[in-house]
Amino acid sequence: MVDSVLTLKFLISLLFVGAILAVSIKFLLSKSRFGPISVALVLLVGGYFLYDQMIYTTSDATVIKEFHEDSEIRNLQIRKVEFEIGTYSFKERMLIEDEETIRKILQDLSDIELKREINKEPGGADYVLDLLISNLKNDMVETGTIQIIVGKEYINDYKIVSDKDHLKTLKELDERNDLEWETE
C-alpha cells in the first residue's frame, strides 16, 4: 500500500465517490441499459481519483515521521551532493549542533504538500541531511539517525507540489562566510 495520510480532503472525496456509485447502482437496478456502463465508469474514474488522493501526503507524516517533539536533537550533518554519471558524490559537509538552527531547517521542511513519485528518476538532490536524535523509551535512551535527501523539487522520493521555500535556511547557511564547510 502506498504511504498515505487520511485527511479530511480524502474522506470528502471518498464520500463523493460513494454517492456517485450509489446513484450508478440505482441506474443498474432500474434495468437501464446505461446502468452497467455507469457503474463501471464510476468505479474506474473513482478508483483512480481515490488512488491519486491517497498518494498526496505531507512531509510531517512521511519524511520526518521518526522525529518527535520530545526528541533530543544531538546534531545535524549537512552534506552537499552532486549527481554525476548516474551516482551521487559528496562535495562538502558541515556539522551543526545549534538546536535553534536545526529546528529552523526542520520547520522549513514541515508543512509541505508532497506527492509520492512511483517512478522517480535519479538525481535532483542538493543536500543530504543526517539528523542524530535521541528518544527516551522505557527508561532507556535510543539514539538513531534520520536521513533526509533534499532537492529543489524533491524530498526523498516525494515530489514537492506546494510553494514553500523549503531550502531557505540551508541556502542561508551555504551563503554565510563565517561557517566552514569541510571538503569530503
One-letter amino acid for residue 30 of the chain: S
- Residue 6: the pLDDT is 44
Q: Which pTM was predicted?
A: 0.66
CATH number of 61-183: 2.60.40
* Domain boundaries of the chain, sorted by first residue: 8-54, 61-183
Q: Across residues 50-77, what is the average pLDDT?
A: 67
Percent of the chain exceeding pLDDT 90 equals 6
- Residue 5: the pLDDT is 42
Cα–Cα distance for residue pair 134/145, rounded to 1 Å: 9
- Residue 45: the pLDDT is 80
Least confident of 29-33, 79-83, 116-120, 157-161: 116-120
- Grid coordinates in use for 135? 528518544
Which tens digits make up the pLDDT trace of 118-146?
Answer: 666 666 788 989 988 888 778 888 888 88
Q: Give me the numbers of helices (H) and strands (E) for the chain, helices first please.
A: 5, 9
* First vs last C-alpha separation in the chain: 38
Q: Is the pLDDT of residue 1 over 50?
A: no
Question: Dihedral of CA 174/176/177/181: which sign?
Answer: negative
Q: Which residue has the higher pLDDT, 112 or 170?
A: 170
Q: Which residue has the higher pLDDT, 53 or 61?
A: 53
